[in-house]
């Protein structure tokens, strides 16, 4: 999520900007593979992912969604659409935990609604 947020703030989401914690991940191959798959999938499919978020966020344009909430949604929607080895329930639960830690109190129901709609549409 940090990568999505940082790259969005730098307006570098259309490219693979450096993952700042990559050196730590090199020691944990499974996490490194996940981070690489997640970021490359997002960069390759950003337009589809953002359109999916916007279509599922009834009456919300993507520009109105907070940066933290958007980073969480981008991670989760990328997982739901392109990283099929991660169970849907795990993706949604992790996104809600991130929202409780990093976003406002109102964010969890908002994120849950969007991810529920995305999950239902992709069953």
pLDDT at 21: 53
Q: What is the pTM of this model?
A: 0.80
pLDDT at 30: 72
Backbone angles phi, psi at 112, to 5 degrees: -60, -40
Q: Name the architecture of domain 2-121.
A: Orthogonal Bundle (1.10)
Please check the confidence at residue 116 and state whether its pLDDT lies above 80.
Answer: yes
Domain spans of the chain, in order of start: 2-121
Q: What is the pLDDT of residues 25-80, one digit of tens each?
A: 565 677 778 888 998 999 899 999 999 999 999 889 999 999 999 999 999 999 99
pLDDT at 24: 56
DSSP 8-state code for residue 63: G
Confidence of residue 19 (pLDDT cuts 50, 70, 90): low
Mean pLDDT, rounded, for 108-117:
97
Work out the percent of the chain whose per-residue pLDDT is above 70.
76
Q: Is 57 left (phi over 0), alpha (psi -120 to 50) or beta?
A: beta
């Amino acid at each position: 999520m940090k990568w999505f947020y940082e790259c969005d703030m730098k307006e570098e989401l259309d490219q693979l900007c450096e993952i700042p914690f990559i050196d730590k991940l090199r020691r944990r191959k499974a996490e490194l593979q996940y981070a690489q798959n997640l970021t490359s999938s997002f960069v390759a499919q950003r337009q589809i992912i953002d359109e999916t978020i916007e279509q599922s966020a009834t009456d919300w344009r993507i520009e109105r969604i907070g940066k933290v909430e958007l980073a969480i949604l981008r991670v989760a929607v990328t997982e739901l659409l392109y990283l099929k080895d991660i169970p849907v329930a795990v993706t949604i639960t992790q996104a809600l935990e991130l929202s409780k830690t990093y976003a406002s109190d109102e964010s969890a129901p908002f994120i849950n609604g969007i991810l529920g709609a995305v999950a239902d549409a992709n069953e």
